[in-house]
Copies of this chain bind each other. A is one copy, B any other.
């Protein structure tokens, strides 16, 4: 039995129902498929009537979230601890779309409002030259077609025995390439050969990289990365580092059709799956412990709105915790705002690989699952519906708390942890990311990112040295890289006005033997409130001081400790230094990546909050965009203390590829935890009942005592 084809993206063909939109259920509900359809139709009518645009390519179509205070008033959540909620005000539903003028080029942005069931265009205009909205899934897919049909590409492939139908290409956004005019919408394509159906094409990388014009739909450049060779003295020399290696000339081509390194195909006679793994099932005979009302989820005192956008994936909003009857706000919004994957090979054109994010979705969970759909706009303006974009289920997470009084006859108490998982899988060409949001009964919120999929690889000559990566399989190079994620946290710890406290843990300066510190063991926590956006808004991690941050509400203190109610951010294992220079292309474009924590005041404009740490329009930016986190912290001399603030946390992993990551990489984890800290009077999970699972039993009949069934270790 071969590895079975497993659950992946389920989609639905959209049949338009109406162009009239009905009332929304929750002010943060994403645009429905009908609404996407209606919005794009409204834009078409508008552009036809008011602009010279002949043909439109829709790229985005999303909800513009209403102002926070309006949402909180609508939900009855107070702005400050103990206050009354504000009086509800009417909420206008708004949408936003980026679209391209296919004939003349140029990117347009429109903002629309829903009035009495009809979408009206409020504003519509050209955005600044060089502002490219994300590359659409259709563009990514079409790129392969453009590459495959190109005569020069075909000729280059044929020279090494690759027929046109065997040419495959992964279309990426291009990081940065100033050989082309700013207004050209570019894509780069990594080219591979596939010799049979479902074969692992990444096992056969070709030795050139193609650049296409996405609107003209044609190849405009083919680049050949240089090769390395080992010189007689053992050092490594690069064949050519010329940045502008323009002429389209074949440099070298290596056939790497090595079946042994392919993903095992059903047809591969050498592949034999292991047969000694017995089934394991998770059962919930009485059903799940969560409730859904549209996009609103309730589970174990937690309540939240689950949104979806094509750019961020999951967005969790208005997260509250029922603390013994008091509804306590925790987070206004939690999402993954950006990611960048800078590669470490310096030779052209490799530095163009930035891999800003781009999604494609599926799910593979175990147990009793609830799915939420997601929808995004296609080029034509119709919605594309993913039926199972977001997956919700429960998991057992081991012991939650436990204590045994070791005295004879002492009491044992053990409580198991149940967690709620809200998750999503994204395929980014060769790579996959699994985003898990975990909620726990002790008030913890965890973000877990799992990385798997196939490495981005390049071809190598026989015995070619590989100074910036690992030759993971014969003739297959994988470059060193980092995965850097920007987690956006819009907090509302006991209300909308929060501060961030930086804690350093430091030894007492008094020396060992001194009166104040005779044993030398004393240490203290030094707290610093981040006050000024300009001075304190961008923070580095400091390992030697066990630096950590917490989001606090100064208006509410703990009855015993006297400290401010807060949520601490625990991310030590995921914090990493950016390896690229501060003035590197990537550090200039993705400024978020060179600091661990950013704190800025939120500013709600026509298109909502401060959202995108590397700018709203990411592809082909060349410098830090005006509207990005690196600029926001410099924006005025404002306070970030006791204000409506937004945090961006940079976490990730430095990936030095291993042969064991090939052909498919076993998951790697990046974790980030928010923990209540002086927020609850005591451990809020003291009321979770103890577990004594009657279905647990001994592994082997008659052997040893087992949990539950024979009472050997449970009775006392």
Nearest B residue to A658 by beta-carbon distance?
Answer: B677
Question: Is A53 in the interface zone, CB < 8 Å from B?
Answer: no
Contact B660 A443 (CB under 8 A): yes
A399: contacting residue among B274, B434, B689, CB under 8 A: B434
Q: Of the 9-residue stretches A71-79, A90-98, A412-420, which lies at the interface with chain B? A: A412-420
Q: Measured between alpha carbons, how far is A401 from B200 in the docked complex, in Å?
A: 15
Residues of chain B with a CB closer than 8 A to A286's CB: 278-279
Write the A8-44 contact mask toward B (1 if CB under 8 angstroms, else 0): 1110000000000000000000000000000000000
Q: Of the 9-residue stretches A402-410, A597-605, A631-639, which lies at the interface with chain B? A: A402-410
Q: Measured between alpha carbons, how far is A671 from B387 in the docked complex, in Å?
A: 36
Point out which of A168, A400, A520, A714 has the most chain B C-beta atoms below 10 A from its C-beta. A520
Residues of chain B with a CB closer than 8 A to A404's CB: 8-9, 360, 362, 425, 427, 432
Write the A274-289 contact mask toward B (1 if CB under 8 angstroms, else 0): 1111111111111111
Contact B690 A280 (CB under 8 A): no
Contact B683 A520 (CB under 8 A): no
Residues of chain B with a CB closer than 8 A to A285's CB: 279, 281
Q: Of the 9-residue stretches A151-159, A389-397, A493-501, which lies at the interface with chain B? A: A389-397
Question: Is A444 in the interface zone, CB < 8 Å from B?
Answer: yes
A346: contacting residue among B141, B198, B399, B518, CB under 8 A: B518
Write the nearest CB–CB distance from A685 to chain B, whole angstroms.
Answer: 6
Nearest B residue to A442 by beta-carbon distance?
Answer: B666
Contact B581 A507 (CB under 8 A): yes
Q: Measured between alpha carbons, how far is A453 from B414 in the docked complex, in Å?
A: 10
Question: Is A335 in the interface zone, CB < 8 Å from B?
Answer: no
Q: Measured between alpha carbons, how far is A371 from B678 in the docked complex, in Å?
A: 39
Question: Is A546 in the interface zone, CB < 8 Å from B?
Answer: yes
Residues of chain B with a CB closer than 8 A to A699's CB: 287-288, 290, 368-370, 392-393
Contact A661 B683 (CB under 8 A): yes
| Top 7 A-B pairs, shortest CB-CB distance | A573-B573, A520-B584, A346-B522, A6-B414, A351-B519, A8-B412, A543-B543
Q: Assuming A278-B284, A365-B696, A712-B10, is B688 touching A273 (CB within 8 A)?
A: yes
A5: contacting residue among B411, B575, B703, CB under 8 A: B411
Write the A685-716 contact mask toward B (1 if CB under 8 angstroms, else 0): 11111111101111110011111100011101
Contact B518 A243 (CB under 8 A): yes
Q: Assuming A543-B543, A664-B413, is B688 touching A659 (CB within 8 A)?
A: no
A704: contacting residue among B301, B346, B370, B453, CB under 8 A: B370
Residues of chain B with a CB closer than 8 A to A581's CB: 507, 511-512, 517, 520-521
**A–B pairs, 11, beta carbons within 8 Å:** A5-B413, A5-B714, A243-B518, A273-B688, A344-B524, A401-B666, A402-B452, A406-B429, A506-B579, A546-B579, A664-B686
Write the nearest CB–CB distance from A425 to chain B, whole angstroms.
Answer: 7
Question: Is A222 in the interface zone, CB < 8 Å from B?
Answer: no
Nearest B residue to A543 by beta-carbon distance?
Answer: B543
Q: Of the 9-residue stretches A108-116, A326-334, A556-564, which lies at the interface with chain B? A: A556-564
Contact A364 B707 (CB under 8 A): yes
Write the A524-546 contact mask toward B (1 if CB under 8 angstroms, else 0): 11000000000000000101111
Q: Of the 9-residue stretches A183-191, A473-481, A484-492, which lies at the interface with chain B? A: A473-481
Question: Is A1 in the interface zone, CB < 8 Å from B?
Answer: yes
Question: Is A663 in the interface zone, CB < 8 Å from B?
Answer: yes
Q: Of the 9-residue stretches A121-129, A310-318, A463-471, A607-615, which lies at the interface with chain B? A: A463-471
Nearest B residue to A276 by beta-carbon distance?
Answer: B289
